[in-house]
Every structure is written in structure tokens, then in C-alpha cells.
Copies of this chain bind each other. A is one copy, B any other.
Amino acid sequence: MISELDVLAMDQADPLASRRAGFALPSDKVYLDGNSLGALPRATPQRLLEVLQEEWGEDLISSWNRHAWIELPQRVGEKIAPLIGAGPGQVICCDSISVNLFKLLAAALQMRPGRQLILSASDNFPTDLYMAQGLSALLGESGCRLQQVAESSLEDSLDEQVAVLLLSHVNFRSGRILDMQRITAAAHAAGALVIWDLAHSAGALPVQLDECDVDFAVGCGYKYLNGGPGAPAYVYAAKHHQAPLQQPLSGWMGHRNPFAFDPHYEPGEGMQQFLCGTPPILSMIALDAALNEFSGLTVAQLRSKSLALGELFVDLVAQSELAAMLVLYSPAEASERGSQLAWSHPQAYGLCQAWIERGVIADFREPDILRVGFAPLYTGFADVWVAVESLRAVFAAQEQLDPRWQQRPRVT
């Protein structure tokens, strides 16, 4: 039996414990939803105030040069690169995952003439599928088709029709990690390119884009990277794919010389060609500031803590009456899971709401998933203890059956 004292000892022994002080967490809550929206770094408000008052307020338009706003997409990209196993000059911060996927899908199709298929998992995060559907509707079935198959059938479905394989590294619902190295090699063996979505992996577990010979990737800034609500996303393109591509969202920031005001588009070199419109500087500054919280840490340290937090949650469930009520939807083997756990229960929505009322923030995912995320920078072992004890109390009082939880609001 693991006791509360054991758990407190885990926090005391945690080499990352001091990092928690860098985040402004509410004292009366346990936050297990950093995989939806990362917490606020304490340094972010001050940095944004500086940019507002000293840069925008004082130096106005000249800040694009004087404070190097114009280079912010590249600078933030280079800060993200070590978290995803990318060497320099391959990552740039811009737009949203959705918009970036459109750029990459269209470019990848152009790179594989004669092939029209985008292959993806039917349980991929919906916006990834939607963007492929949008491109397909625009180009027509003869130009682009999306094939959605079960995760388990992906490799068998790779053939000479597949132009690009579009996958999430970690499944948003189950937390299952796909084998990036093996699947990328299989795609390449079939002549296809790969695009990996790192939304649920970057910042919490190892990602080795260069080592896995990945072609392209996207990821978001607002989950484990803590860049704030709707923080800008990023694009990775392997060096050998950086000759000018046919990226259709060819806005002026991607032009080789935006301020020449040339009426004809000429793509910029390297990652610049993935830029489109003027970037939202304030949101990007918040992401830039948040990335400092990773300084001095290795991804291996993050993963090690993340695994320990997940294991503790699983063990505490197993040693309590919860074991008879919750079914683990995530892979049983910790090494196959990202930094989250999904549990099935017929009243998952009510459980989530009742849990939130007791101060534990988790989330619900259709149809019956209670999902908890562990942000190794700031989630503590005691958080896990309190969360499990609260969930036991919810069940003990049958709070999940409260009539208030019969109707689901738009966002949970």
C-alpha cells in the first residue's frame, strides 16, 4: 500500500520539484489538465508588460527591428527545437496547427506526383482530419483523398497510392504513443512522406524528429509548452526538404523580401517559406517567455517524472475501490503512454464535473473518457494523491449522478 507519507517523500525526492514555483497555480485546486491548457508561468505577465509598455508603447513600429519582432517566429522555433529532437534551422513558430497542416499537406502532395492519398488514423485528433478533408474538397477526389483507418491497420495500409501519412505522435484520447521511428521508416519504404502532430508529446516526452528521419511535423504552443490559450503553433521541416516548396498559404511574411512589396511571390529560404501573414506578436511573446521554464532540463528528466506521476495514479487506483469502477483506456504498459491517462466509465462526464467541483481539474472526452494529464514541470506527486482521494469521495457520495451533469455544455 502506498501511503500519503510515501507520496510526500516522492515530492521531496523529485529533482524537478523546484520548477513548480515558476508557475502561478491556484492554491485550492489540483490541475490535471495541462495537456489541454498549460499553466501560467509566473514570469509571463511581467514579460508581456515589458513588451506592451516599453516595446509597443514606446518604440511603436520600430520595434519590428529594434526588438527583433520580425525574427520572433524563428527565435521561438529554435527554442522549441531541442524539445523535439530537431537540429537548428528546421522549426518555425506560426499560425495554428490546423493552418500549418494545410501548408504541409498541400506541399507534400506536390512532392509525390501521381499519388493522391493522405493516410491517417480514424482516431487522430479531428482537426487534423478536417484539414485533410478541406484540402480534398478543394482539389477534388482526383487530386487528394483522405483514407482513415484504425491505428492498428496503419502500416498495412501503406501502399504506392499513399503520398503522405498524417499521424499524431500521442493519441489525444488514449494517450497511446505511436512508434515514430518504425512507422516513419515504413512510410518511407512505401514511398510516402510523414507529417507528425506533436501536440500531445512535445514538452513531456522524448521526440526525435531528426533521428527518426521525419519529413514534417507540427505542434501547438498551449499544452505542455505553456504558451497560453491559443498560443501560436510551429512547423518542423527536415533540412533536405527545405528547397522551395509549393506551400499554398504564400503570405507576405513567407516572401524572400516582404518589404520589397514585389507583386509576385517568391518563397523565402528555409523555414521562412512556411510563414504566411503577420504573426500575433503578443501571443508569441507569451510562448517565448514560457519556453524559458525548460532551461537546464533534459527531455529525459521530464519523461522520467511524467512516467512516475502516471504510475502513481495507476497504483493508487489499483489499491483502492476505484479499481472496480474505472477501466483503463490507455495502454497498460507505461512505456506506450504519453503524459496522460484515460479511464472509461459510463458516467465519465458526471465524474469529471463532480471532480472539478471538488477542485480537481481534469477533462472529459467523448464518449465516456475521463482524462488526466501530468505536466512534469509543475504537477506534484501530492497532486496525484489528492486527486485520487477526491475521486474516491466523488464515488462514495455518488456525486457523478447529480442531475446537473445530465446536459453537457459546449466546452468541458
B-contacting residues of A (Cβ < 8 Å)? 24, 26, 29, 31, 33, 36-37, 39-40, 44-45, 48-49, 52-53, 56-65, 69-70, 95-99, 102, 106, 122-124, 126-127, 129-131, 133-135, 137-139, 148, 173, 220, 222, 228-233, 246-253, 255, 257-265, 276-284, 286, 356, 361, 363, 365-366, 409-412
Q: Are B61 and A363 in contact (CB under 8 A)?
A: yes
Give A31 to B124 CA distance when docked, in angstroms.
49
Among A129, A247, A260, A278: residue with most chain B CB under 10 A: A278
Partner of A130 from the list B39, B44, B251 (CB cut-off 8 Å) is B251
Q: Are B137 and A70 in contact (CB under 8 A)?
A: no
Q: Which 4 A-B pairs have the closest CB atoms?
A: A96-B277, A98-B251, A98-B277, A134-B250
List 10 contacting pairs A-B, 8 Å CB cutoff, sorted by A: A65-B409, A126-B252, A126-B263, A126-B265, A130-B250, A130-B251, A230-B280, A259-B410, A259-B412, A280-B283
Q: Are A262 and B53 in contact (CB under 8 A)?
A: no
Q: Are A137 and B246 in contact (CB under 8 A)?
A: yes
* Minimum distance in angstroms from A71 CB to a CB of chain B: 9
Among A139, A220, A283, A363: residue with most chain B CB under 10 A: A283
Q: Are A99 and B276 in contact (CB under 8 A)?
A: yes
* Minimum distance in angstroms from A53 CB to a CB of chain B: 6
Given contacts A48-B282, A99-B276, A248-B137, contact A229 B31 (CB under 8 A): no
Q: Are A56 and B40 in contact (CB under 8 A)?
A: yes
Smallest CB-CB separation from A173: which chain B residue? B261
> For A222, what are the chain B residues with a Cβ–Cβ distance below 8 Å?
278
* Minimum distance in angstroms from A42 CB to a CB of chain B: 9
Q: Are A277 and B95 in contact (CB under 8 A)?
A: yes
Q: Are B232 and A134 in contact (CB under 8 A)?
A: no
* Minimum distance in angstroms from A140 CB to a CB of chain B: 9
> For A40, what are the chain B residues with a Cβ–Cβ distance below 8 Å?
52-53, 56-57
Smallest CB-CB separation from A127: which chain B residue? B252
Smallest CB-CB separation from A412: which chain B residue? B259
Q: Are B33 and A131 in contact (CB under 8 A)?
A: no
Q: Are B61 and A361 in contact (CB under 8 A)?
A: yes
Give A236 to B168 CA distance when docked, in angstroms.
33
Give A394 to B279 CA distance when docked, in angstroms.
34
Smallest CB-CB separation from A23: which chain B residue? B57
> For A365, what are the chain B residues with a Cβ–Cβ distance below 8 Å?
261
> For A96, what are the chain B residues with a Cβ–Cβ distance below 8 Å?
95, 251, 276-279
Q: Are A230 and B278 in contact (CB under 8 A)?
A: yes
Partner of A131 from the list B124, B233, B249 (CB cut-off 8 Å) is B249
Give A53 to B42 CA distance when docked, in angstroms.
9
Q: Are B52 and A45 in contact (CB under 8 A)?
A: yes
Smallest CB-CB separation from A70: which chain B residue? B411
Q: Are B248 and A102 in contact (CB under 8 A)?
A: yes
Give A382 to B280 CA distance when docked, in angstroms.
32
* Minimum distance in angstroms from A370 CB to a CB of chain B: 14
Q: Are B57 and A48 in contact (CB under 8 A)?
A: no
Q: Are B61 and A36 in contact (CB under 8 A)?
A: yes
Give A361 to B57 CA distance when docked, in angstroms.
13
Q: Are B133 and A264 in contact (CB under 8 A)?
A: yes
Give A327 to B384 CA distance when docked, in angstroms.
71
Q: Are B48 and A60 in contact (CB under 8 A)?
A: no
> For A61, what are the chain B residues with a Cβ–Cβ distance below 8 Å?
33, 36-37, 361, 363
